[in-house]
Every structure is written in C-alpha cells, then in structure tokens.
Amino acid sequence: MSTAQAVRKAMIRLVPFLGLLYLLNYLDRVNVGFAALTMNVDLGISSAAYGLGAGLFFVGYFFFEVPSNVILHKVGARVWIARIMVTWGIVASATAFIQGEVSFYIVRVLLGIAEAGFFPGIILYLTYWFPRKVRAKIVALFFLAVPLSSVIGSPISALLIKHGDGALGFDAGWRFMFFAEGVPSILLGFAVLFLLPNRPKNAKWLTPDQRTALQSTLDSEDTREVGHEVSTRSALTDPRVIALSAVYFGIIFGLYVLAFFLPQVIKGFEQQFQTKYSIVEIGLITAVPYAIAAVAMVLWARHSDRTGERAGHVAIAAFVGAVSIAAALYMGSPLLVMAAVTLCAVGVFTAVPVFWQLPNAFLTGVGAAAGIGLINSFGNLSGFVGPYLVGWLQGLTGSFRPGMWAVAFFMGLAGVIALFFRRKEKAKEKVAVK
C-alpha cells in the first residue's frame, strides 16, 4: 500500500513538472522549423543549408550524450538537469542573433552540446522512481510534452513570428520568437534546484514508510529482472544496445522529419493543391497530427503495461508509421495527405514510450546511464541525417516525396529489428513458464 501511495505521489509531483521541462526542451530544438518559413529567405539559406543546420544540432548532441548521462548518474539529477536547462536556454535565445549560414551552423552545434543528456537523463531518472509495470505509461505521460509542444508551441511560434517584428528591437519576427522561447528554459532551470529531488530518499513529500517501500520495490525489481549491474564499457558494447540504437534511429528519423519539415510540406500545398494558408493557419494545421498522436500514445503505452509485451508494440507502431507516410505520397487532397501524416505521427509517438522499456529490461545503474545515453545519441543522429537528407533531396528534386520515402524505409527497418526483440521476449516467457 505504501508503495502504491508513493508512486501516485511521485507521478503527481514529478511527471507534470518534467513534462513541462521537456516541452520547452523540444520546442527550443524544433522551433527552427517555423522560423524557416521566413528566416531562410531573410538570410539567403537554401533548403540543403537549412537541413544541414537543423541537423547539426545532433552532432554536438551525439558526442556529449553519454558523458552527460554518466555525470547525471554520479552527481544527481537536480544539479545536472538545472545546468543543462540554463545553458540550452541561453543558446536558444542567442539563435535570435544569427546572421547567415555559418552562425546558424555554430549555434545549432552549441545547442546540441548544451542539451546533451537531458532526455536520456530523464528516462534514467524515471527508473529511480517508478516500478517497471507502470513505466511505459509514465514515459508516455512525460513524452506527451513532444506532441503538446507542437499542439501548443506551433501556434505560439507562429504568432510570435507574425507579431514579433520590431518587438524588443528585433528586425524580424523569427528573431523575437527564438529569444522569447529560450527565456523560460533559463528560469525553470533555476527552479529545478528547488523542485526536483534526486531519489525517493530525498523527497520530503514522501513519508518514511513510503520512501522505504518504494526503494525496496525498485531494488528488488532490479535484482530479479536484471541481476548485477554492468559496467559502462559492457553496456556500450552490448549487441542489444547497438541493435536498439538502430531501432531508435528509424523511429526518431520520422519524428524529426515531421518536426522540421511538416510546416514546409503544408506550405507546399499552395502549389500542389492550389491552396493558401497564413503562417498562423499552418501552425494550427501542424498541431492536429500531434494532438491525435498524444491520445494514441498514452492508450498504446497503457496497453503495453497491461499486457507486459514491449517489442511487438514497438514493431507495430513503426510499421504503421512507415506505411502511412508512404501512402501520403499518393493522396489527392490536403485532407487525405494530412490524414496519412497523422497516422505516421501516431506510429512515431506510440513507439517511443514503449521502446524505452526494452533497454530497461537488461540495464541498471551506471550501465543503464551509459546504455540509454548511447541509444539516444545514436538514435538522434537521425535528427542530423534526416533533415539534411530531406533538405538535400528537396533541393535536388523540388519535391518532398523522396524524403518521405526515406522516412518510410527507416521506420520500416526499425520495425523489422524490433521483431527480433519480440522473439527474444517469447523465448524468455517460455523459460519463465518452465
């Protein structure tokens, strides 16, 4: 009973706050997609150069991800997450002052370095607080920040661009948007120091019995399910970690192509279907797939927790994303295209929370910090490859169609690899029955 009460308290106290932090994190990372509607013309940035700059974020992110996560495990989440947020907020606001391609590239690399470790750090942090049987749902509730950052952030970003010209002396609305959306991250970074306890034993809002019961439950699960703690080196060279990195690469490939290019795809309806949308209307249309995906994500995660099955849920979601984005290429109206894009978003977002239960099944402690960091860093390299490849293909062909085929390919590949883990799960279940 004490464990259930502690879990409920932790969910109420931690998940909404962490979700807010990730909402700001994701918004500061992908608001460049809206800025591109006017920034590219203002600065003379080509589609290929924009795709390169958008993706360079993940170069700095890649190299600093594992060290950042290991440091978080050693020094505690409270101090390290606060550091991450303050530095990324400063760099995000500084994007307002870029003057061309080179400065755009530099600030994107610095933003990746500043943000490195935040998402995998939170995934690791949640394992310190929540038993395995509820983790997919908890991660889904936390990950709601991503679709909500588009549902809420897309219209806000569009409004800031539309009305920000001249505000605070900025000569363009997109500059004001970057500056304004970076400031809350700095402020909340300082709030983390007071609101985020490292472990259950540090939570004053839990009773002594609740702290003890929750920690005992978590420790016994790790011992029963994982066994001994593996080293950093062992985690980084584990074939399962490498395979999961490939799965995550495919899923996140679809996520960032949608994030960075969906506004431009919708704008392209003007030529394809002879439509006309304002920046604000594009923001509202962009929000729709994410709103629907948010609901589907929580329901799919709850189903996974209830059945205890993980890899199959990931594979199905990845295949849905792959098939639907390919189908979008052959739709004959904006409504049908957006319906297919929405299904792709559903596939992407339903896959992610369940996916993160796969490494947790065999990693714990510092090994989990390193393994989760590596999976996330390799997976997020697709945030570099995807935008650059799609931008280059769009510039070469004048169409987003080749880029969407790339999304279908990588998401389909992720589904195929996930099926391998499904076979492993079945084998483990047979051993457990015997």
Instruction: Judge if 169 and 299 occupy the same domain.
Output: no
| 224 located within any domain | no
Total count of domains within the chain? 2
| Last residue in a domain, options 189, 206, 223 | 206
Same domain (yes/no): 293, 327: yes
Cβ contact 90:173 at 8 Å: no
Contact 75, 129 (CB under 8 A): no
Q: Are residues 141 and 239 in the same domain?
A: no
Q: Is residue 214 part of a domain?
A: no
Tell me, yes or no, whether 191 and 305 share the same domain.
no
Q: Would 221 be classed as within a structural domain?
A: no
Residue at which a domain ends, from 147, 172, 206 = 206
Same domain, 115 and 236: no
Determine the pLDDT at residue 313: 94
> pLDDT under 70 in the chain at which residues?
1, 222-231, 423-434
Q: What is the CA radius of gyration of the chain?
A: 21
Asked whether residue 217 is assigned to any structural domain, the reply reads: no
Contacts of 306 (CB under 8 A, 6+ apart): none
User: What is the SS3 assignment for 227?
Assistant: coil
The pLDDT tens digits for 82-97 are: 999 999 999 999 999 9
CATH number at residue 367: 1.20.1250.20
103 with 19, same domain?
A: yes
20/122 Cα distance (integer angstroms):
12
| Structural contact between residues 104 and 98, judged by C-beta atoms closer than 8 angstroms | yes
Domain match, 171 and 280 both: no
pTM greater than the 0.95 cutoff: no
Question: Is the domain of 55 the same as that of 164?
Answer: yes
Phi, psi for residue 27 in degrees, rounded to 5:
-65, -45
The 8-class DSSP code of residue 281 comes to: H
Residues 6+ apart with CB under 8 A from 165: 171, 172, 173, 176
| 23: Cβ contacts below 8 Å, ≥ 6 apart | 145, 146, 148, 149, 152, 153
Whether residue 99 lies inside any domain: the answer is: yes
pLDDT of residue 228: 53
242 burial (CB, 10 Å; 0-12 / 13-18 / 19+) is middle
| Strands in 91-196 per DSSP E | none
Using an 8 Å Cβ cutoff, are 424 and 311 in contact? Answer: yes
Verify that 198 and 284 share a domain, yes or no.
Answer: no
Same domain assignment for residues 57 and 200: yes
Residue 218, amino acid:
L
Supply the pLDDT for residue 1.
63
pLDDT of residue 434: 47
User: Do 259 and 369 have their domain in common?
Assistant: yes
Q: Which of 337, 334, 350, 328 has its CA nearest to residue 407?
A: 328
d(CA 61, CA 87): 13
- Domain range enclosing 375: 231-429
- Res 295: pLDDT: 92
Q: Could you tell me the CA-to-CA distances from 1 to 13, 15, 277, 329 in Å, in that order? A: 18, 21, 54, 52
**Together in a domain, 60 and 170:** yes
